[in-house]
Each structure stands twice: as C-alpha cells, then as structure tokens.
Chain A
Amino acid sequence: MTTNQVQTTNIRFAGLGGTGVIKASDIFADVVFRQGHTVKKAEVHGMSQRGGSVQSDVRFGSEVHSPMIPDGACDFLVVMEPTQIEVVRGGLRTSGTLIVPADIDTTKLPSAKSLNVAMLGRLSRHFDFPESAWRESLRANFPEKLHTANDTAFDLGRTP
C-alpha cells in the first residue's frame, strides 16, 4: 500500500533575536490557519536575550506531519538580517524563493523595527490569500498605535 505524498509548503523565517522573526512567523501562521489550512509551526525560543540566531518554521497543507522542515526543503526562506543569509541558505530548495532585506527599499520604512512586516508584505505576493487576511492578522498581533506604520510597511513589501 502506498500513501500519497502529502503536499506541504515550507516557509522558514530566520534572523537574529529581537528582529521580529518569531512575530513574523506567528502572523504568517495565523493568516494561513484562518484560511482553513492545517498549519504547524516550530521554533526553538530558548533564552530571552537578544542577538542570537533565531529560526522559526511554518509548514502548511491539507496534512502536515513533522513541525520541523527537513534539510533543504524550504520553499521560502525569509531572512530578516543580512549577516544570517549565508548561515541559513542551505535550507532552501533549489527551486525555492529567498526573501532578504535588500528586496525592500528600507529607506522608506516607517521604522527600522517594521522590517519584519515589510518582509511579510513581500512574502504575501507569493500567496493568493486575500489582502484583508494579512491586515487582520497584523492588527490582531500588534498594539493599535503601530497599526498605521504596519500598514505602510506591509504595502512597501507587497506592492511590486
């Protein structure tokens, strides 16, 4: 008996602690989950100190098994911090998509902290989820005073 290969989409967020990696992956997982997919998300958040390497994996599809993305199986790799690109690049499939800060015109960011939201905007181009779903999740995950800045940052990444 052979079980059909399950189609799973794998997205890894990477960067340094304090750069919004976990937050971005939480928002992404939220968007996908609300669209009715089965989602799993794995991260190791050990020490609360800033500055160490951080990775967070999100996998979704009709069925997802392991929460961790197998070696070299990332369909998307979103790296928030340029120094980490070479560290994590090996995780990407040959056909996979790499998204890095250079893809964003960072001079137009409302604040340096909003880079993760702009990167989500950039990632959103690759999925046909309604734009409103992204905006709702952003609102649900940030305090109100950041909503306007986040909308600007998201647009910056989303608009080609």
Chain B
Amino acid sequence: MPQPSQDKNGRLLLSGNEAVALAALHCGVALGTGYPGTPSTEILEGFSALGGKAQWAPNEKVAAEVALGAAFAKARVLCTMKHVGLNVAADVLFTMTYSGVDGGYVLVVADDPGLASSQNEQDSRRYAEAAVAPMFEPADSQDAYDLLQVAFATSERWRIPVIFRMTTRVCHSKSPVKPRFAPDVIPTAAETGAPATDFVRNIAGRVMVPGHAKPAHRRLRAKMAEMELWNISQGPNLVEKRSESLGIITAGICYHHIREAAPDASVLKLGMTYPLPLATIRAFAATVDRCVIIEENDPWLATALRAADLRIEAKDDATFRFGELSVDRVKRILNKDTSPEPVPPRGKPPELCKGCPHTTSFEVMKELNCIVSGDIGCYTLAALPPLSAMDMMIDMGASVGMGLGLRHVLPRDQAKRVISVIGDSTFLHSGLPGLVEMAYNPPETGHVLMILDNGTTAMTGQQEHPGTGRHLDGSGTHKVNFEEMAHAAGVKNVFTINPIRERAMLKAVLADSLQKDELTVIIARSPCILAAGRIAAWDKELKAKQAADEPAESGSCECGGTCQH
C-alpha cells in the first residue's frame, strides 16, 4: 500500500475504508476479523498494513463469533463484512445483543446501493432494529474516523456490539482526515485506552438458555432506552440551521449530496441512527415548514418517523428506492420531480481475463450441455456472453444445494446434466455443508460438484483463504485439503485436474462422471493468472524450506504441481 497523501496541515487523503483502518489502530483494536466482500475488503487489509492484527475467517458468521469471543475477554474488536455477509452472520448477531460484551465490539457492514458489485440491494439498517443493535452511519472519511471512536465508546459503556453501517460511496471515496496520532505512530494501549484482556466468568450473562435470555432481552431494551436519551443529549448528530421553510433529515453520504443540492436548507445529519434520537428529530422538524427525509434504498427512517407521528415528506419510492442517490437525484426529490431520469450510456461489462482457468472449465461444461448450478466469484462472469454457461447464481454456497434440488426432481435425462460449480473461497465459506448434504441425501442420479480452485479469492482482489495456506498478510499457515474433505464427507470419486493443461482429461472425466449414478467431486486446479506469480514464488519458497527441513523425500506424486502434495 503506497503511503497516503498528506498535506501541510497533517491531513491525510483517505478512503472511508482506510479511515476505519486507521481509527481501529488508534482505538487499540486487538483483533480485526471478517470475510472479504466489496466494498468492505480494504478495511482489514489496511489495518494489517498499518501493523494491526487482522485475519480472514472462512465466512462472516465465524468472523463475528471469533470477534465475540475476543470481546467477551474485554478486547476491542473490529469485524467487517459486506451487506450480504451480515445475513450469514445474522444468527450470532441476534443473540449477542442479548449477551452483550465486555470489551468493545464494532461490526462494520457495508451496503451497496446501486449494486456496484453485489447480488442484491439490501438495506442492512433493518438489522439494527431487528437485532436491537446500536448503529452509526458515517458520511465521509473524517466522519468514519471520528465515529468509530464513538462506536467503541458506546459499545464499552453499554456493553453491547455496535453496527457501523457504511455504503459503497463512503467506503471507496477519498476525502481529507485529520487523525489523532501521526500516521506512522502506533499508539500504546495507555494512549488508546484499550483495556487489558481478562476472563471473568458470567454464566447467566453468556449462556443464552431461555431462563437467561428472558431477562437479557429486558436488559437489552433498557439499554436501548438509555442509549436513546444519550443520543438525544450527546449523540454525534449535527444540526445546521439555515432555513425555516425547508429542513432535511439524513445520514451517511446523502448529507454531502444535500449540502450541494440545497445549500440554503436546514439539515439534521444523524451520526447514530439506532436508537433514533426522536426528541432531537421532533424538535428539528418543528423549526421548519417542510421537513424532508433523504435516504438511499428503503424508506427506513421515513417509516420510523411516520410511526412516531412526525409530519415528514419522503422520496417517491417507485423511483428513488432503486440505486444510489446523487446531487441530481436529491434535487429531483426536493422538487418532487419523478419524470424519467437520464439513462447513462451502457459501459462495457467486465469479462474473465484472457487465459483465466475458469474459461476452460466452463467451455467444457458447455460442450457437455450441462445444466450449471453456479455460485459467486469471478467465474459468475461465465454466465454472460460469450460463454453464457451458468444457469443460476443466488448466494454464496447455493450452487451445491440448488444442484441437488434440481437432481432430485428433474426427469432423469435432464437430472443427469446437472452440475454444481463453486469457487475455492466460496466452497470453504458455505459450500462445505452442501457437500455434506450431497453425501447424506444423494440424488438417485448421483451428482457432480466442481470446485474451481484458483488459489485465491479473486473476485474481491485476491485475498487469502484457508485453502491457500496463507494468512491475510501473506505469512504461511496450514492449508486445508479439498480432496481429503471430499473423501471424509463420503464422496467416492475425487479428481484433481488442471483445466488448462489437462483440458481433454477434464472433459473425459466430467463426461464419465455425468454418466455414472454416483457422487463425484472434481477439483479444477489452476491459479488465477493475476495471482499466479505470487503463488508460484510462495510455492518455491515453501519447497526450498521443506527441502532444507527434511531432505530426501520420496514418493512425491507426478501431477506437475496441480495437486496439493
């Protein structure tokens, strides 16, 4: 990571993600954990580059649980994910608000209004209300830096995990940040105020059986009531009084669109959006003739304020619920203009890189007329022309279950054509339970699962995962073995084939597997061409180290480096 730009006043030009990473360092975060996902990925990468301890978990649920354990031990922890990741982590979220924490726990969730690179446009603010977690929403990088500190203080004061909700524009836009410490300083624990870790037994507080959870729910609601009062009196909310005719209530990036679109309007910018500071909002609304809510995606604020009997105006959801807002769209909302918006000319969609191993794998599936139950990753691009070789993609890990479902009910001739295809990172994220299902409830026609092992999480910018044998920072660790996992689950036929160097073999093995009424896992292993150089260099380094440690190893296989041994 190149050094961030710095001006004469000590301000840094940082993206929202970089600002969160720096704030985490300055808050004395003991552990950062998460799973990659645009637009959240650079937070942990940045935190690690700054010297923080950061690691990728196999999925968001595990990350949130690792963070919870650390927070039970009084540590300050940061857990990051994209919006759909919170669906995966939702189970732990809904009950860790009951148990609460002893340290500081900030869960960053990054929404993607406009779907710059996501499979849906969900509005994660609803999770704060549903799981009863306090929520902060930064508007830019300085705000992200400042609010993260408030989020930790809130988490520690009320002993509760806190949601830090960002959006693509906040995560990826750069703006100036004035940090508390010089950029090259790693503050000491005394300077950050981070508490020392310690285990204090609290069975009634942390074992959420019904007898403990019932009072925990009441405690949680009581905390929320207190926090609302605090948010009203001291919350990180900003009132800009400029007009008596027009007042706008907002949070996040929309604040900046509003300041440009309506410089003369009064604005209430909320930094803490759950629990809402209703009295503050009511007082603000009373000072203006017209009070408009500006928010992206769902009418979440608008619904809450209408339920509280406030006379407010909101955007026309038939038009503005879709996509992100901008200066132009805010002007339209304020002018109640719902005429057709200009459609930007279509750019060129991305494609698989030239020489990408996924291309060959999908060509082979296409040649064999497969019905392809697909998954998420670079390889999803195989669904687009010219390949058009993937028939469905919904959520991470779904390829396995959907493929099995198809096999269970389709007529035999169609069922025999079904294959589930999943990337290596996605397989470890949530494909594993699908593999177990495949062995447990095998369809009559058998099934074929292809794992596209390109040695990296390519889609989000080449992150490590448990199958690469590398930590987030590139240092070595145990490498989980896909072949052994398939065998252990109970799959009889397991093949490892290099789709580029052994294309004919891949086609023959796949054709044969589709023919048999058995379970087959094919691991199509060839590195992502963008990561290949790095992977090869690491392999060389590892081999040299192994040779030095234990010379004269015999019986190595002849796969030419395609298998993991």
Contacts and interface: CB of A to CB of B under 8 A. Distances in A.
Interface string B524-563: 0000001000000000000000000000000000000000
Interface SS majority for chain B = loop
B345 A3 contact: no
Given A51-B351, A52-B350, A66 B7 contact: no
A33 B7 contact: yes
Nearest to A38: B176
Interface in B255-272: 256-257, 259-260, 263-264
Interface stretch (A42-50, A108-116, A119-127, A145-153): A42-50
Contacts of B175: 38-41, 64, 67
Interface residues of A, number: 44
B491 interface: no
Contact of A40 (B173, B242, B353): B173
A70 interface: yes
Given A39-B174, A65-B256, A44 B327 contact: no
A46 B381 CA distance: 13
B242 to A, nearest CB: 6
B132 interface: no
A42 B174 CA distance: 6
B95 interface: no
B328 interface: yes
Nearest to B174: A41
B176 A44 contact: no
A65 B350 contact: no
B381 A140 contact: no
Contacts of B349: 52-53
Nearest to B352: A49
A51 B348 contact: yes
A90 B176 CA distance: 29
A48 B460 contact: yes
Given A33-B176, A71-B342, A53 B348 contact: yes
Given A3-B242, A3-B263, A47 B350 contact: yes
Interface string A15-43: 01100000000000110011010111111
B530 A48 contact: yes
Contacts of B172: 42-45
A16 B326 CA distance: 23
B169 A16 contact: no
Interface string B378-390: 1001000000000
A83 interface: yes
Interface string B350-372: 11110000000000000000000
Given A3-B242, A50-B350, A65 B257 contact: yes
Nearest to A137: B5
A120 to B, nearest CB: 15
10 contacts: A30-B5, A34-B6, A38-B176, A44-B168, A47-B350, A51-B348, A66-B327, A68-B169, A70-B328, A137-B5
Enumerate the 9 nearest inter-chain pairs by beta-carbon distance, A residue then B residue, closest first: A53-B347, A46-B117, A52-B350, A65-B260, A67-B173, A41-B174, A3-B263, A30-B5, A44-B116
